[in-house]
Structure 1
């Protein structure tokens, strides 16, 4: 039986290659707004961040999202991203997938 290919993506903060399901996609919509994309299918320019709250803090400190997407990123977006990543990491630990 043929093995199923696991899609890999690179984290913009840590530069690690990880399975797509272990990361969160952030997308800049055609209108220029940044959004968290849980489905991974929204239109726009996307980048991936690992499900690690410390990496979100590092991205904020080094303004990585601003450089990646060439837009201003609000404090509220970073807070929303941090809470989302923290929640998803806790969920994955409960489910035993990570």
Structure 2
């Protein structure tokens, strides 16, 4: 049996399979981007595909702390649209 990599959501602190979480990356150039493939280089943080977790992370500034950079509202909007797109699939 193949081992399934587990990661922790920065908002709800639940351990889930890596494939079930959305990865956000701070690149070496200090840009914050969404990593859909999970392969980009840089410091990564994971969040559940749920609006509740995104709102919790924004309120607590969990992503800011995990990535060690201030996250802009534009990135939160991109995350929200990505989560809504995932739900429609």
TM-score calculated relative to the size of structure 1: 0.85
Q: Which has the larger radius of gyration?
A: 1
Q: Tell me the number of residue pairs that the alignment of Structure 1 and Structure 2 aligns.
A: 89
Gaps of 5+ in 2: none
Shift of 1:57: 0.9
Shift of 1:22: 0.6
SS in 1 for 2:37: coil
After superposition, give the CA deviation of every residue in 1:4-58 in whole Å (9 maximum; x if it has no partner). 2211111111111111111010000000010000010001000110111111111
Runs of 4+ in structure 1 off by over 3 angstroms are none
Alignment-derived partner of residue 29 in structure 1: 27
Cα RMSD between the aligned structures?
1.0
SS in 1 for 2:84: helix
